[in-house]
């Protein structure tokens, strides 16, 4: 009998007991094997950040044991393997699964048979698994799966299958018994749902968590330049696969303590190609070190492998085309995707399944780092062509929205599009793609026009979200240095421009003027006195001429210079048939001429402005023009005409609070401003002509007789004598609502205004008038 016969016999016996006993007999000895622990060790040099909540969720589900299979779906580069490794090494989970942790890292081209054989070796021992060579399927994938399945039948083990790329490969590791639990990780959403009863999806790291991860690797760099560090985190949008090698790169640069080398390293990282090629050092990599380039390229090349009838070339062309769209946080619709790339619903679904784009509700998004990489797949001419397609799409979208405003309202009401978020987003996207298409001069002019229109519409009176948001979003973009300087100039202009609610003669008007001149130069506008021909250029020329006129008027009290700019603006707007802006310039010029002692020259301007104000249905500009006509009448000592004009000014300002929308902070402050202006003029008139002022004030009071106000002439005279315009206001006109009370009392106040107007002229107003916020929601 051969000396090793007993040993061989023992091995055969132990193989027959696989999966049927907790003890394995080797030879004549009885032994309790140590539970297998196949997962890699967690890196000692850093820890995961921003994943505490999801780790608790996964652990709770695994411990509960229902369902037995859990899939973690993460986009490429987020850290699937690191998270799976942390869970596999968790002490609490190891106690829950005392029979060990089995680990398989699959990837794009896995050795499924080899991985299953390794599991069999771990479970059964090397001395037992090779004795069954007589089986006809010995050594095949099916054989090893059967061996592992039997071995796990009565065990409590945790099976971790990392980086699954296909359903077939994932199902090969569905081998655990009822007491086992399986944890799959994959980058593919649809695959995750097919592999398990519970899917947990992980997103990118937020800004704070991204900074925390970067700080683990290079605290010196973060401390030396936190602003640059935040920009780096934002640049890769919280992608760990990029942040870890970036942190290592900066750590090496800061190791000598020379700030110059650190600054140079940060500047070097502006080259996105370098970021794509950086690899995690081996000591930080859970599996084989890989570059971000290799990670994204693998998914790109995989397209078409599991997307049914759709070919890889078609899908690669579509996703590369979509990479020119604005990345996170902006979304793109299916309509835009189709317009840009010809992508169908089926195409977009396939790209979502690949992990290269993500579906969010009815829209889609692509990670900015993926987009930057994929744009390298298409040439510059193709990129320009795609941006021009996007420009055409958003131009059409803007036209549709503006047509809606024209159908619903005419004249003044169309300007409310600046408060419509959908219109603002479409405008911003149009500008973005116009710039990316290389139309820099056009985009500068169009951008400045949009911003100055918004500032003219509301921003010169109160803070306006559209203007602030447009600046903020563009400051955060990767734009040309000259464009960034233009944004700085606009920001400074907004800071130093004295609003209409402030002292107009205060402020640094010289700086306002110099900024406007520089912005006109950057936009390539014609010199003063000449006429640009392009629509946006002509409009911008006229708009900036208004603000230059105000700088001359209020800053230098140069009425001649101001008039030249006002008339230049008139030329631009009249040439464009822009009645609304023309009416407003008539008002500002007439107001200044009265101020300059030329009321007779202002009379005809007011009449022209009123005609346009009526046609545009703008009660605000009508109120202003009637107020100026009242000033002209007082200068001519025609107090009856003054009473009629100022009364009309107050009435139109009062009406402006409910037409075309309900009271808001702007409209109620405008009404209060007009009333205050009239009362201050009455006080000034009282200093010169006591009787005329009192007669005029009483006439104004009588114009609002329907309000039930019964202020006696003696009361009015007392306030005129005291020069107390604030106390005079409620004696002559309906009281205004303080802006801070608008929220709780706005609806009741709107009802009072409607009732006053109805009683005044038997005017029928709609029973419900949308507020600005309501109109935004309805439009959106």
The pLDDT of residue 5 is above 70: no
260 or 21, greater pLDDT = 260
Nearest to 670 by CA among 550, 546, 501, 503: 501
The pLDDT of residue 20 is above 60: no
pLDDT digits (tens, 9 = 90+) for 377-409: 999 999 999 999 999 999 898 888 877 766 655
Percent of the chain with pLDDT over 90: 42
Amino acid 415: pLDDT: 65
The pLDDT of residue 94 is above 70: yes
Identify whether the C-beta of residue 249 lies closer than 8 Å to the C-beta of residue 278: yes
Amino acid 709: pLDDT: 58
Identify whether the C-beta of residue 363 lies closer than 8 Å to the C-beta of residue 332: yes
pLDDT (average), residues 467-487: 82
Residue 50 three-state SS: coil
| Average of per-residue pLDDT values in the chain | 84
Residues 6+ apart with CB under 8 A from 17: 24, 25
Nearest to 416 by CA among 429, 406, 426: 406
d(CA 704, CA 720) in angstroms, rounded, equals 19
Q: What b/e readout covers 561-582, taking b as 16+ CB neighbours within 10 angstroms?
A: ebbbbbebbbbbbeeeebbbbb
Nearest to 239 by CA among 172, 291, 180: 291
User: Given pLDDT bands bounded at 50, 70 and 90, which one contains residue 344?
Assistant: very high
pLDDT digits (tens, 9 = 90+) for 151-188: 999 899 999 999 999 999 999 999 988 899 999 999 88
In sequence order, the β-bridge partners of residue 103 are 160
Backbone angles phi, psi at 672, to 5 degrees: -60, -35
β-bridge pairing 24-26 and 29-31: antiparallel
d(CA 675, CA 627) in angstroms, rounded, equals 10
Least confident range from 72-76, 173-177, 185-189, 352-356: namely: 72-76
User: Given pLDDT bands bounded at 50, 70 and 90, which one contains residue 11?
Assistant: very low
User: Given pLDDT bands bounded at 50, 70 and 90, which one contains residue 776?
Assistant: very low
Amino acid 454: pLDDT: 86
d(CA 100, CA 35) in angstroms, rounded, equals 5
The encoded tokens of residue 92 equal: 């609490």
Complete DSSP assignment for 387-434: HHHHHHHHHHHHHHHHHHHHHH--GGGGGGGGG-HHHHHHHHHHHHHH
pLDDT digits (tens, 9 = 90+) for 254-291: 877 777 888 888 888 888 888 888 887 776 666 666 78
The encoded tokens of residue 173 equal: 């590791």
Residue with tokens 């951008």: 447
Tally helices (H) and strands (E) across the chain.
Answer: 38, 10
In order of 217, 468, 578, the CA distances from 464 in angstroms are 42, 7, 23
Nearest to 741 by CA among 664, 674, 681, 683: 664
Residue with tokens 């005329």: 692
Amino acid 251: pLDDT: 86
- In 657-721, which ranges are continuous DSSP H helix? 665-688, 690-703, 713-721
Nearest to 356 by CA among 407, 312, 419, 296: 296
User: Cβ of 733: how many Cβ atoms within 10 Å?
Assistant: 25
User: Given pLDDT bands bounded at 50, 70 and 90, which one contains residue 636?
Assistant: very high
pLDDT (average), residues 201-230: 87
The pLDDT of residue 770 is above 50: no
- pTM score of the predicted model: 0.68
β-bridge pairing 332-333 and 363-365: antiparallel
The pLDDT of residue 237 is above 90: no
Amino acid 427: pLDDT: 84
pLDDT (average), residues 685-713: 82
Amino acid 131: pLDDT: 54
Amino acid 17: pLDDT: 38
Identify whether the C-beta of residue 421 lies closer than 8 Å to the C-beta of residue 401: no
pLDDT (average), residues 40-63: 85
**Most confident stretch, 220-234, 387-401, 591-605, 763-777:** 591-605
Complete DSSP assignment for 191-257: HHHHH-SEEEEE----HHHHHHHHHHH-HHHHHH-HHHHHHHHHHTTT-HHHHHHHHHHHHHHHTT-
Amino acid 378: pLDDT: 93
User: Given pLDDT bands bounded at 50, 70 and 90, which one contains residue 307?
Assistant: low
The pLDDT of residue 432 is above 90: no
């Amino acid at each position: 009998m051969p000396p090793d016969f007993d040993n061989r016999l023992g091995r055969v016996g132990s193989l027959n007991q696989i999966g049927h006993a907790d003890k394995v007999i080797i030879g004549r000895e009885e032994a309790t094997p140590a539970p297998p622990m196949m997962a890699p060790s967690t890196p000692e040099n850093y820890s995961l950040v921003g994943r505490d909540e999801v780790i608790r969720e996964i652990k709770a589900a695994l411990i509960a044991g229902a369902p037995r299979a859990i899939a973690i779906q993460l986009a490429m580069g987020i850290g699937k393997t690191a998270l799976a490794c942390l869970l596999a090494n968790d002490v609490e989970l190891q106690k829950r699964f005392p029979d060990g942790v089995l680990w398989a890292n699959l990837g794009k081209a896995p050795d499924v048979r080899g991985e299953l054989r390794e599991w069999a070796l771990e479970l059964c021992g090397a001395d037992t698994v090779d004795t069954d060579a007589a089986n006809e399927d010995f050594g095949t994938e099916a054989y090893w799966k059967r061996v592992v399945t039997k071995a796990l039948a009565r065990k409590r083990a945790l099976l971790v299958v990392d980086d699954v790329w296909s359903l077939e490969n994932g199902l090969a590791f569905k081998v655990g018994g009822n007491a086992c639990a399986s944890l799959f990780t994959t980058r593919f959403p649809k695959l995750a749902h097919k592999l398990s009863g519970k899917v947990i999806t992980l997103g990118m790291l937020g800004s704070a968590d991204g900074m925390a991860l970067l700080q683990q690797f290079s605290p010196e760099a973060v401390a030396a330049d936190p602003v640059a560090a935040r920009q780096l985190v934002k640049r890769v949008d919280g992608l760990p696969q990029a942040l870890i090698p970036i942190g290592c790169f900066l750590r090496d640069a800061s190791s000598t303590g020379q700030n110059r080398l650190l600054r140079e390293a940060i500047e070097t990282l502006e080259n996105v190609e370098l970021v794509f090629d950086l690899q995690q050092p081996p000591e930080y990599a859970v599996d084989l070190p890989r570059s971000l380039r290799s990670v994204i390229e693998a998914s790109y090349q995989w397209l078409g492998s599991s997307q049914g009838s759709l070919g890889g070339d078609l899908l690669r062309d579509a996703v590369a085309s979509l990479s020119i769209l604005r990345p996170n946080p902006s979304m793109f619709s299916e309509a835009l995707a189709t317009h840009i790339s010809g992508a169908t619903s089926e195409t977009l679904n396939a790209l979502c399944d690949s992990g290269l784009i993500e579906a969010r509700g009815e829209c889609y998004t692509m990670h900015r780092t993926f987009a930057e990489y994929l744009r390298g797949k298409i040439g510059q001419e193709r990129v320009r062509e795609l941006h021009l397609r996007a420009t055409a799409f958003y131009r059409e979208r803007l036209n549709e929205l503006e047509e809606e405003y024209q159908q619903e309202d005419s004249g003044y009401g169309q300007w409310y599009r600046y408060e419509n978020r959908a219109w603002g987003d479409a405008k911003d996207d149009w500008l973005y793609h116009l710039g990316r298409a290389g139309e820099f001069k056009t985009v500068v002019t169009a951008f400045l026009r949009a911003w100055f229109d918004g500032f003219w519409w509301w921003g010169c009176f109160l803070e306006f979200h559209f203007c602030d948001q447009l600046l903020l979003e563009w400051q955060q973009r990767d734009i040309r240095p000259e464009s960034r300087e233009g944004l700085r100039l606009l920001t400074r202009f907004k800071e130093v421009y004295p609003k209409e609610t402030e002292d107009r003669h205060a402020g640094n008007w010289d700086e306002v003027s110099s900024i406007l001149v520089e912005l006109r130069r950057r936009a390539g506008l014609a010199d003063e006195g000449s006429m640009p021909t392009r629509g946006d250029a002509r409009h911008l020329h006229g708009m900036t001429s208004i603000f230059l006129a105000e700088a001359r008027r209020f800053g230098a009290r140069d009425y001649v210079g101001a008039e030249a700019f006002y008339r230049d603006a008139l030329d631009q707007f009249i040439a464009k048939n822009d009645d609304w802006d023309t009416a407003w310039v008539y008002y500002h010029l007439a107001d200044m001429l009265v101020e300059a002692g030329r009321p007779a020259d202002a009379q005809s301007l007011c009449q022209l402005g009123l005609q346009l104000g009526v046609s545009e249905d703008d009660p605000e500009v009508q109120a202003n023009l009637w107020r100026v006509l009242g000033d002209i009448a007082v200068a001519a000592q025609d107090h009856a005409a003054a009473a009629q004009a100022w009364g009309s000014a107050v009435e139109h300002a009062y009406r402006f609070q409910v037409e075309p929308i309900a009271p808001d902070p702007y409209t109620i402050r405008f009404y209060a401003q007009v009333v205050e202006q009239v009362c201050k003029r009455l006080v000034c008139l009282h200093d010169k002509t006591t009787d005329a002022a009192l007669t005029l004030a009483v006439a104004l009071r009588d114009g609002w007789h329907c309000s039930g106000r019964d202020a006696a002439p003696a009361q009015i005279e007392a306030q005129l004598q005291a020069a107390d315009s604030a106390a005079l206001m409620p004696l002559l006109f309906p009281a205004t609502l303080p802006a801070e009370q608008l929220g709780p009392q706005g609806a009741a106040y709107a009802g009072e205004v409607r009732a006053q107007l109805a009683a005044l002229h038997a005017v029928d107003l709609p029973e419900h008038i949308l507020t600005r916020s309501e109109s935004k929601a309805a439009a959106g």
